[in-house]
Amino acid sequence: MKTITLAFTGASGLPYGIRLLDCLLQSGQRVNLVYSQAAQIVAKQEMDFVLPNRPQDAEKLLKERFGTFNGELNVYGIQDWYAPMASGSNPGDAMVICPCTMGTLGKIAGGISDDLISRAADVMLKEKRALILVPREMPFSAVHLENMLKLSHAGAVIMPPNPGFYHHPQSVQDIVDFVVARILDHLGVAQGLIKPWGEE
């Protein structure tokens, strides 16, 4: 069982994040989830899904949504400085911010840790653990690209959700699954969403 911190921020692309959460839990991982208030707005707009304000309510709702799974889900408030991923003594194995706003990306690039999401990301970088950022939709300004390059140099993996089409997607869900599969690959979590290149 890996311990993965998963963060949702207020960027377009929450279906990727929700699908990733589902896959991580089904594959038996421990997920520490945190999300911003803006992510709650995006969840309602993109998925007609209400993410509760209280972490304990979110845990209950998400467990009901995903049904039986082999993993473990813990939800934390964005200002919960006692959450395990806020400290380098308990960072977990990896962190994914999916979707990631340019504001969040900029804060991390600048070393600003004013909430649990940016603090946990800062911890991952200083502890040299896997940090995967899934930016929002294009286009990107020069400032955005410079921040991405800065974070890439610092050890983060920048994974814009740009799907391939060699697997012949037939639906939006197929495209979502392609992106999520690539994230899972980088986390070292087995996935059956898409076949590896060259395998029938």
Which tens digit of pLDDT belongs to each residue from 45-65?
Answer: 999 999 999 999 999 999 999
Query: Considering the chain, what is the average pLDDT of its residues?
Result: 96
pLDDT, one tens digit per residue, over 14-52 is 999 999 999 999 999 999 999 999 999 999 999 999 999
Judge if the upstream peptide bond of residue 161 is cis by omega within 30 degrees of 0: no
> Is 197 within 8 Å of 33 (Cβ atoms)?
no
Beta bridge partners of 74: 32
Percent of the residues in the chain that have a pLDDT greater than 70, as a whole number: 100
Report pLDDT for 195. 84
Number of domains in the chain: 1
Percent of the residues in the chain that have a pLDDT greater than 90, as a whole number: 94
Beta bridge partners of 6: 33, 96
Does 103 map to a domain? Answer: yes
pLDDT, one tens digit per residue, over 87-145 is 999 999 999 999 999 999 999 999 999 999 999 999 999 999 999 999 999 999 999 99
- The CATH number of the domain holding residue 163 is 3.40.50.1950
Does 141 map to a domain? Answer: yes
Give the separation between CA 58 and CA 49, rounded to whole angstroms. Answer: 11
Quote the pTM value: 0.96
Q: Is the pLDDT of residue 174 over 70?
A: yes
Average pLDDT of 66-82?
Answer: 96
Does 7 map to a domain? Answer: yes
Does 198 map to a domain? Answer: no
Does 151 map to a domain? Answer: yes
- Residue 27 exposure: Cα atoms within 13 Å on the Cβ side: 22
Q: Is the pLDDT of residue 200 over 70?
A: no
Does 178 map to a domain? Answer: yes
Does 194 map to a domain? Answer: no
pLDDT, one tens digit per residue, over 149-169 is 999 999 999 999 999 998 899
Does 57 map to a domain? Answer: yes
Report pLDDT for 7. 98
Q: Is 195 helix (H, G, I), strand (E, B) or coil?
A: coil
Q: Which domain holds residue 85?
A: 3-187
